[in-house]
Amino acid sequence: MNSVITKAEIISSLIWKFLERIGTQGINFIVQIILARLLDPEDFGLVSVITIFVSFANILVQSGFNTSLIQKSKIKEIDYSTVFYFSFFIAAILYVLLFLLAPVIAMFYEQPQLTSILRVLSVTLFIGANSIQIAVISRNMQFKKLFYSSFLATLISGFIAILLAFSSLGVWALVIQQISYQFLVTFIMLFTVQWKPRIVFSYKRLKLLFNYGWKILATHLLSNIFLNIRSLIIGKLYSAETLGFYNRGMIIPSVLVSNIDGSIQSVMLPSYSSQQENKEIVKKMVRRSIMTSSFIVFPMMVGLAAVAEPFVSLILTDKWLQAVPFLQIYCFIFALMPIHTANLQAIKALGYSGTVLKLEIIKKAMDILILLITIPEGIYAIAIGELISSLISTLINSYPNNKYLRYSFKEQWIDVLPSLLLSLVMGIIVYSITFIGYNKLLTIIVQILIGVIVYITLALVFKIESFYFLLNSLRGTFKNKDRY
């Protein structure tokens, strides 16, 4: 970064990033509810299998360059075009590979229609400008532009998917939704982001960026494999319908957490990077990130776990009730995300991409062991095993920052403990309302209202610092020009 990013710029960017995530995910959440009512769990199971292969290929397309373009303190114009053309070249190779392997994958899962679905959905690999545009936006803290493109793309693609679902096109409604979203968001950013590829290429600059990026690539590959390995195993050992229940239970808390924690961490990576020479300031920023994210995420996840059954029954209908146990387990898994991401983003921003890769290898070795133990015990044991793995990973991810930032695992948990305790108390009260016997709609309304009132009241009574920080930040968003 060429200049230090101010506190006002960070908070302004956070607000726009929140709006982008909440707006797009809010629309997408409504769309998914409508689609879940119109389509069968098996349709979602089929798409979740294919999405795993496409997302894996997308990581290879980006090759860690996106993070390199954001993290490096000085970037030249030629770097963007070089990464763009290289990514497009990799996309072409991977598309041909997936096209040829599609029948083999379909045969393995004994689902013939997977062949055509994979071949069509893999077209998204060619929309390579997207990651470059996002890197430009992130470096310049212009998240307002990302809000416009993502919001419009989500709205239009969701409308298209609903029309196709009403037309009884089944799984293809979900496929076309993903393709149209990727195309639209990239197309809109062609007009909002001041970057276009030039006819230039530098092998030297590519190599320089890749020296940092390959470790991030390897990390993302490992993370993606193990993020989805359970879905791959469930898709093979169980039916597509069961995978649909599992996937839906995971997606709902994932969407909510990505709105909050994803927004914060997207802004914090360039913010950390701008201060990478001053580790004391980076520590304060990481600490603030963990505390603020946890204060918001913990009650959301505990509350969602408490209202899971009436929520699923009312919103998705009773045909999705088998997703409830998975939803509750994943609420606690995603509640830990602020601790994971803040630590990893700080390590990346400081330039220790090799450390991130080593951590990923250690975590995945542990994950394999836990997975092997839980597979024979059934599908619920597999999900609980992931929760155990996530808990242990909070220790692993925080360990390097004890050295780099003098911010230990113990300190981090002391910082988030007040929010955790308040959330658990709130969750017990909210869950107890289920036994009163109201109808489903009234039960959820009462649970949400009581949950919000209890949590805010406890935050005021115990003077939780994160609560007052959020209030003060919102009041002075565009007034405070101080730097961290």
User: 132 pLDDT exceeds 80?
Assistant: no
User: 174 pLDDT exceeds 60?
Assistant: yes
Coil, helix or strand at residue 467: helix
User: 196 pLDDT exceeds 70?
Assistant: yes
What's the CA gap between 152 and 185, in Å, rounded?
8
pLDDT band of 14, cuts 50, 70, 90 = low
pLDDT band of 190, cuts 50, 70, 90 = confident
Statement to judge: residues 338 and 416 lie in one domain:
yes
Statement to judge: residues 200 and 279 lie in one domain:
no
pLDDT band of 349, cuts 50, 70, 90 = confident
Statement to judge: residues 220 and 262 lie in one domain:
no
Statement to judge: residues 383 and 461 lie in one domain:
yes
Average pLDDT (3-21) is: 60
Residue finishing a domain among 220, 237, 254: 237
In a domain, 484, yes or no: no
CB atoms within 10 A of CB 370: 18
Across the chain, which distance is largest between two alpha carbons, in Å?
68
Residue finishing a domain among 199, 214, 237: 237
User: 484 pLDDT exceeds 60?
Assistant: no
pLDDT at position 182: 86
What's the CA gap between 55 and 220, in Å, rounded?
11
Percentage of the residues of the chain whose pLDDT score is greater than 70: 83
pLDDT at position 302: 96
- The winner for highest mean pLDDT among 46-60, 130-144, 272-286, 412-426 is 412-426
List pLDDT tens digits, range 358-381. 898 899 899 889 999 999 998 999
In a domain, 153, yes or no: yes
Residue type, 256: L
Residue type, 219: T
**CA 168 from centre of chain:** 30
User: 337 pLDDT exceeds 80?
Assistant: yes
Statement to judge: residues 298 and 225 lie in one domain:
no
Look at the alpha carbons of 155, 157, 159, 162 in this order and tell me if their dihedral is positive or negative. negative
Range of the domain at 35: 1-237
Residue 388: name the closest of 342, 306, 329 by CA: 329
CB atoms within 10 A of CB 377: 11
Residue type, 215: K
pLDDT at position 481: 45
Tally of domains within the chain = 2
Statement to judge: residues 108 and 253 lie in one domain:
no
Average pLDDT (232-258) is: 84
Give 168's DSSP letter: T
CB atoms within 10 A of CB 28: 20
Statement to judge: residues 177 and 252 lie in one domain:
no
Statement to judge: residues 133 and 116 lie in one domain:
yes
Q: Cα 64–66–67 angle (5° rounding)? A: 75
Residue finishing a domain among 194, 218, 237: 237
Statement to judge: residues 56 and 110 lie in one domain:
yes
How is residue 351 written in tokens? Answer: 């330039």
Residue 139: name the closest of 83, 84, 71 by CA: 71
pLDDT at position 67: 67
